[in-house]
């Protein structure tokens, strides 16, 4: 069987229907559930889907790094 790993959670947002996390801003079609559609389509083609989600937030700071905590100096 073929298998595919897909990312469904990026920066605290969801690329799937979620009652917990906000919908990813990149999803512009309101009623689209990317994970749900992928799972349905993959089943027809005999592909097993594994959902992967980042559990730690990735810092989007414009300088490219986390601000230094003065208390840790």
Q: Enumerate the domain spans of the chain.
A: 2-59
Predicted pLDDT at 65: 61
Q: Characterize 20-55 residue by residue with b for buried, 16 or more Cβ atoms within 10 angstroms of its Cβ, and e for exposed.
A: eeeebeeeeeeeebbbeebbeebeeeeeebeeeeee
Predicted pLDDT at 69: 60
Q: Model pTM?
A: 0.69
What is each CA distance from 12 to 35, 51, 53, 56, 60, in whole angstroms?
16, 15, 9, 8, 12
Predicted pLDDT at 21: 84
CA distance 20 to 15: 12
Predicted pLDDT at 63: 65
pLDDT digits (tens, 9 = 90+) for 7-39: 998 777 889 998 888 888 888 888 899 999 999
């Amino acid at each position: 069987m073929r298998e595919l790993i897909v990312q469904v959670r990026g920066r605290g947002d969801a690329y799937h229907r979620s009652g917990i996390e906000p919908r990813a801003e990149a999803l512009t079609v309101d009623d689209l559930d990317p994970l749900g559609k992928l799972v349905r389509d993959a089943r027809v083609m005999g592909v097993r889907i594994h959902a992967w989600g980042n559990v730690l937030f990735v810092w989007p700071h414009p300088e490219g790094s986390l601000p230094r905590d003065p208390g840790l100096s």
